[in-house]
Structures are given as C-alpha cells and as structure tokens.
Structure 1
Amino acid sequence: MERAKRKISHIEEVIKQGQTTLNSFDEMEVIHQSLTHLNWDQVSLRTQCGELSLSSPLFINAMTGGGGKKTEEINRNLAAAAKTKNIAMAVGSQMSALKDETEKKTYEVVRKENPNGVVIANIGSEASVDQALRAIDMLEANALQIHLNVMQELIMPEGDRDFSERLKNIEQIREHVSIPLIIKEVGFGISKESAKMLKEIGIQYIDVGGKGGTSFSVIENNRRDEHLQSFNTWGIPTLISLKEVSFAYPDVNLIASGGVRHGLDGVKALILGARMFGIAGPMIRTLMEDGFDSLLTKIDSIHDEIKIAMVTLGADHISKLNNSPHVLYGRTKEWIEQRTKNV
C-alpha cells in the first residue's frame, strides 16, 4: 500500500478503534481536598517544559499529514483549533513529505493556519540530520519530535526491520538541532532502560507515549493477511512509563501521552511529574465525527477539568500539581513497586 493510502487507513482505524486496553489512568486516584484557599480566577494554566513556554499543558499530539487533501484539511482544522484555544500542536510523521514533495502542503498548512503558535515537527528515528532540519524548516517548528515505533514497524507488512543505527541517528540529530528535541513513543511506552540510554546521549525531553489509547499493533495487524495478535496488548501503560522514566532520569522534561482521555487524566500525569500532556485520538475523533465547533468545546472542557482539579488541590500553577496527594493500585502499583527499586 502506498504511503498516502496508509495514512488515510491509519486515520480511519484511529477513529474506529477508540481505547482498546486497560487504561492505567483508571488505577490512580487523586485524593480530594475539602478545604482550598483558591479562587477560580487565581488559577493559571501556564506551564514551562524546558525551553517551551506554554499557555496550557494540553497540546494536540502527532496524528496525521502526508495523505493528500484529506489529511491537509484535517491538519488545517486542528491548527485552527490550536490557534483559537492557544495550545501547541504536533503534526504526524513528516517522512512522507521528505520523500514526496507533493505532500509538503499537508503539513505546511499548520504553520499557515497558525503563524504564531507553538508547532512541533515530527520525524522517525531513521531520519538523517538533513531530513530533520528540512522537517523543522517545513513548519518553522518550535520543537522536533522523533518518534520511536519499533513494534509498529515490525508488525507493519512493509515495515522496517533494521534498527541498528537508530540511537546513533538520534544522537547526531541532537548535535545539529537548536530547538527542543523530544523523543516520543507511539503507544508502547518508554522503559527506564531506554530513558537511561536517552539520558546518556543528552536527550532532555521525553514523551512516554504509553499504552492505553490507540494501538498501532492493532492497526497494523488489521492490515496483515495473518494477524500477530499476541502483540496487540504489548507495551508499557502510560502512568507506569511516567514513573519508569522519571525514576531513571529525574531531571528530564517529561511529557505524557497515550490514552489521555480528558482533563483529569492529564492532571494525573502532571501529578506524576509530566510538564505537559498530549491528546491525539480523542481530538481527531471529535473533529471527524462531531465537527470543528465540538472540537473547540472539547478543548474548553479539558481546560475546565484541569482547573477544577487545581482549585480542589490548592494548586494555583501547573507546577504545584506535582506529587499532589494520590494513590496507585492494581497492576500499576504492582509494576511500579517491582520496577522502581533499581535502575
């Protein structure tokens, strides 16, 4: 299947799929506080993630591009929503546009629609330094994501099989890129071992991209003649991945994504040390099924949910949510207890 058709197929699968596995956010409870000293108007959603100064911890995470006019229109609408609500936005992998110039406009529309917003470029870990710089220039990007998708590639019928140079590629790109470089998974989570390797090559931003939302194992299996269903539940759940990464690399600029459904899930991630959180599937599903105005309403609702939790917890700034009272239980608690003893 040609790359553009595969992009459209991915979108259709994301919309159809929804949440496919147990979500680790359901195994964390925030402890209600009956007394608060805050007024709603005192609460600020502004956050700082390393060099990125943001009006909200919420951003529209990487989804699409490279699929012709359909993905161009989707990115136009997502960018318009990001501009209207003053939140950051990441595009889907730009590798298609780096290999086919006719697909560049499906990404460039984001910067055209939102000339002053925070826009995050996206490439695969197979990319060269030249491709990374071209991807940044394509969007006049404020940051660059490099996505890790080994499992997706292995299940994908036409996927890559050689990953021997990936870490070296990332290190070389880091040496030549002057904007924040974010390493992100695509739904399988990042372990403490991988976080330690990224720390050693100087990576300062990690988006855990954990299990719990869209499953690319399921998506790619649906494109195979013979399914490898044993891998449909593979991966590290998002909350667990946040704990693994922060345990191995306490100073990292930590970003949460993967199964974040609403503002309260985002708050839970912020409590566990994330400085921003991305939502992908629910955003595109709302846009495609209910329309642009509904997407704006959804973003407003997420912001309201964050502020409600902040007022209740007595946190007038996002940074003050870190380590607010909470409990973990079930598989999440068991995993963390076993895995955060030694790096």
Structure 2
Amino acid sequence: MSHTTPANLAQQVTGRKQDHIDAVLNDPLVERNTQGFENIKLMHRALPECNYAEIDTSTTFLNHKIQFPFLIASMTGGASSNLGSINRHLAEAAEHCNVPMAVGSQRAMIVDEAAKQSFELRKFAPNVPLIANLGAVQLNYGFGFDEARRAIDVLQADALYLHLNPLQEVVQPEGDTNFANLAEKIHALSEQIDIPIILKEVGSGLSPQDIELGLAAGISHFDIAGRGGTSWSRIEAHRSASDLGLLFQDWGLTTLESLRLSQPYQEKALFIASGGIRNGIDMIKAVIMGGRLCGVAAPLLAPAQESTEKVVATIEQFQQEFQTAQFLLGIQKTDALHLNTALISPL
C-alpha cells in the first residue's frame, strides 16, 4: 500500500504547479478562445461628447480606489524559486499600476513551509488589495479556520478566494473529489473569517444554483471564471494517462453565459468576470454585462516570467484599450458602464 508522506505531498504540490505553468506556456490549445464576447456588438459614438484625456477609468474594490477594473487573477506560488519570482513581479506590477492581485492556491504553503516565501507579498504591494486563495474542497480534507487564517495572515490579505474546481479535481490524477456538503462548511467558515470570502470557479462558470448556495452561505462576492480562456481540464490532461481531460476541455458555462445568468443577483452580490478576458474590449463588455472587476491571468504569465516591467507594460496596454473603448462609447466614468445594456447594439 502506498503512503503519501508530508515531504512527498509537498514535492507533489510544487511539481504540479510547475507542470501547470509549463502546460500554459507550451500548449497553445490550452487557450480555448470561446468566452462568447464576440457575440456582443457595442454602440459606437461618433460624437462621444467627452475628452479622452479626462476619461475616468477608476473604480472601488474592497474599499480601495483602483486605477481601472482589472484584477491580476490567481496563477501560482510554491517552493521553487521561479514561482516566487513570478509572484513578486506580479505584486510589484500591481502596486505600480494600482490594481488588485490574487495569488494561486496557498495549499502549497500549508503542506510545505518552503512555499511560504512565495506568498509574502505585502512588502511588494503595500497599498493595493491582495486576495488569498484556498481550494474550497480542502474543507472536506481537514482544512478549516486555522489554515484559512494562515493563508490570510501570510499575505496580509483583504479577501479570501475559495476556489471551486470540481472538473479539474476529477481529471487531476491525484485530485480531491469529495465536494459533498461544501456549502455548509463554507457558511461556517464565512462566519469565522473577518474579511470577505469570494467564491471562484476556475474556468467552467458559476450557475444560478451555485450563486444561490453561496448567498445562503453568507457569501456576497463571486468570481464567475467562465469557460473560454485557459482550460484547466486540458492542462490536467497533460498529467494524466486518460483522455478525460480532453473530452471535457470545453465543459461549462462561457464567461458571457455566466454573466447573463448572474444578472438577477446583481443587487445582492459583487461579481468578478474572468475566463478568457484578453483585451480591453473584452473588459468593457464584461463590465456592461455585470462584472464589477475583470480577472486576467494567462496574458500576464509569460511577462511575469521575465520582469516586473514586462507585467506593467501588459497591464498598461489593457488600460489603454479599456479607456479607448470607454471613450468610443461616450462614457465619462467607468462605473456608468455597469449593466448599461443600452451600450450594446441591437443589430
């Protein structure tokens, strides 16, 4: 009978994170390009009646005023030095650009003390929102308040992601697949944690039933993370002898579908749009459809391997694109984009 020791588990988790990065960087088909935004046509204004230089792209998130509705979405973190340098570059860029950042799963630092340094990011980003991250399913595998508190404290986080990834766990060779009664445990944790918990999918979208379970569990922040960008099912297929991950690589609700389904709940919760957002026009469409913030990960990974400056340049390109689209819609302030479906062409 095989037995996984703490040392073996730590090595396994760090190795898995490196496998994930390699797959994103080396398999172009991991990027699915099916998030649905091509189906939305925006209403161009030839007389926008505003000055491009005075367009206000700022918004508020977790009681911070941020530069524009952009979130550096969860990517990585672990014991190897390159994972730490990626997170440092991302954190420094977040601070420079005044945008929030979420880290990858901090299970790595719970099982391996050496991974902790890759999440000690507040010194690099002292003034922007930082979001800690644990897998919700780990609440069925011994994790609870203590582990959540450690993840939050190391990052000095403003919020905690509990990510929901049932497809990834099923496909993953060493996946944790007991998702039974998780809503009850999420509710219990939400009553103990003094910062917002954000329920987040990882690429298959949130359904109305998921949102309702979250609301009943005391959650008021959701990241829909829809299908159409990075396919974690395909990524895990690289690590498996089975073709299951390839069969399910396009499973789930697209980002656009999930945003539409979230609209009845907009007055009860804040929604982050992520999943295949690849430019500022995608961002504008996501905000119009209900996202208060837009999470972006894959376009930042290769720049983060190189330098902080490369990440800053990528974020600044997103902002220029976003500001240009906002200007061409004749909208002076970003918050006026939210759920403003009059900006969508009926044709």
CA distance, structure 2, for counterparts of residue 185 and residue 123 of structure 1: 12
Matched residue of 1:64: which SS? coil
Q: Which amino acid aligns with 1:139?
A: L
- Asked if the contact 1:218–1:232 (Cα under 8 Å) also holds between the matched residues in 2, the reply is yes
CA distance, structure 1, for counterparts of residue 47 and residue 153 of structure 2: 49
From the superposition, tell whether residues 50 and 265 of structure 1 become closer, same or farther in structure 2 (CA, over 3 Å). Answer: same
Match of 1:44 in 2: 56
From the superposition, tell whether residues 157 and 12 of structure 1 become closer, same or farther in structure 2 (CA, over 3 Å). Answer: same
Equivalent pairs counted in the alignment come to: 327
Matched residue of 2:146: which SS? helix
Question: Is 1:155 matched up with 2:171?
Answer: yes
Match of 2:13 in 1: 3
CA distance, structure 1, for counterparts of residue 309 and residue 25 of structure 2: 18
Match of 1:284 in 2: 301
Match of 1:121 in 2: 132
Match of 1:333 in 2: none
From the superposition, tell whether residues 24 and 187 of structure 1 become closer, same or farther in structure 2 (CA, over 3 Å). Answer: same
User: 1:51 Cα deviation (Å)?
Assistant: 4.1
CA distance, structure 2, for counterparts of residue 186 and residue 96 of structure 1: 17
Q: Which amino acid aligns with 2:15?
A: K
CA distance, structure 1, for counterparts of residue 180 and residue 208 of structure 2: 20
Q: Which amino acid aligns with 2:299?
A: P
CA distance, structure 1, for counterparts of residue 221 and residue 131 of structure 2: 13
Match of 1:13 among 5, 12, 23: 23
From the superposition, tell whether residues 328 and 187 of structure 1 become closer, same or farther in structure 2 (CA, over 3 Å). Answer: farther
- Asked if the contact 2:58–2:68 (Cα under 8 Å) also holds between the matched residues in 1, the reply is yes
Root-mean-square deviation (CA, aligned residues, Å) is 1.8
The gaps in structure 1 that reach 5 residues or longer are 330-343
CA distance, structure 2, for counterparts of residue 240 and residue 328 of structure 1: 18
CA distance, structure 1, for counterparts of residue 64 and residue 309 of structure 2: 28
Q: Could you give the per-residue CA deviations for residues 58-104 of structure 1, whole angstroms, max 9, x where no partner exists?
A: 11100000142110011111111111111111100001101221210
User: 1:256 Cα deviation (Å)?
Assistant: 0.5
CA distance, structure 1, for counterparts of residue 110 and residue 60 of structure 2: 31
TM-score (norm 1): 0.90
Q: Which amino acid aligns with 2:43?
A: I
Matched residue of 1:29: which SS? coil
From the superposition, tell whether residues 285 and 327 of structure 1 become closer, same or farther in structure 2 (CA, over 3 Å). Answer: farther
CA distance, structure 1, for counterparts of residue 345 and residue 179 of structure 2: 38
- Asked if the contact 2:205–2:258 (Cα under 8 Å) also holds between the matched residues in 1, the reply is yes
Matched residue of 1:23: which SS? coil
User: 1:196 Cα deviation (Å)?
Assistant: 1.3
- My pick for the range that moved more, 241-250 or 6-15, is 241-250
CA distance, structure 2, for counterparts of residue 256 and residue 144 of structure 1: 17
From the superposition, tell whether residues 294 and 50 of structure 1 become closer, same or farther in structure 2 (CA, over 3 Å). Answer: closer
Match of 1:334 in 2: none
Matched residue of 1:277: which SS? strand
Question: Is 1:190 matched up with 2:206?
Answer: yes
Question: Is 1:267 matched up with 2:284?
Answer: yes
The gaps in structure 2 that reach 5 residues or longer are 1-10
TM-score (norm 2): 0.89
CA distance, structure 2, for counterparts of residue 328 and residue 291 of structure 1: 43
Kindly report structure 1 stretches of 4+ aligned residues shifted beyond 6 Å.
none
Question: Is 1:112 matched up with 2:123?
Answer: yes
User: 1:295 Cα deviation (Å)?
Assistant: 2.3
CA distance, structure 2, for counterparts of residue 302 and residue 121 of structure 1: 24
Q: Could you give the per-residue CA deviations for residues 10-56 of structure 1, whole angstroms, max 9, x where no partner exists?
A: 11111224422423112212121111121123221221246454232
Q: Could you give the per-residue CA deviations for residues 240-276 of structure 1, whole angstroms, max 9, x where no partner exists?
A: 1011122355431011011000111111100111111
Match of 1:258 in 2: 275
Question: Is 1:68 matched up with 2:80?
Answer: yes
- Asked if the contact 1:49–1:253 (Cα under 8 Å) also holds between the matched residues in 2, the reply is no
User: 1:112 Cα deviation (Å)?
Assistant: 2.1
1:1-343 correspondence to structure 2 within 5 Å = 2-18=12-28, 19-49=31-61, 51-108=63-120, 110-125=121-136, 126-127=138-139, 128-228=144-244, 229-248=246-265, 250-288=267-305, 291-322=307-338, 323-324=340-341, 325-327=343-345
Q: Which amino acid aligns with 2:163?
A: H
- Asked if the contact 2:35–2:275 (Cα under 8 Å) also holds between the matched residues in 1, the reply is no
CA distance, structure 2, for counterparts of residue 200 and residue 56 of structure 1: 30
- Asked if the contact 1:186–1:216 (Cα under 8 Å) also holds between the matched residues in 2, the reply is yes
- Asked if the contact 1:21–1:212 (Cα under 8 Å) also holds between the matched residues in 2, the reply is yes
- Asked if the contact 1:47–1:55 (Cα under 8 Å) also holds between the matched residues in 2, the reply is yes
- My pick for the range that moved more, 222-231 or 260-269, is 222-231
From the superposition, tell whether residues 243 and 193 of structure 1 become closer, same or farther in structure 2 (CA, over 3 Å). Answer: same
- My pick for the range that moved more, 268-277 or 246-255, is 246-255
Q: Which amino acid aligns with 1:236?
A: L
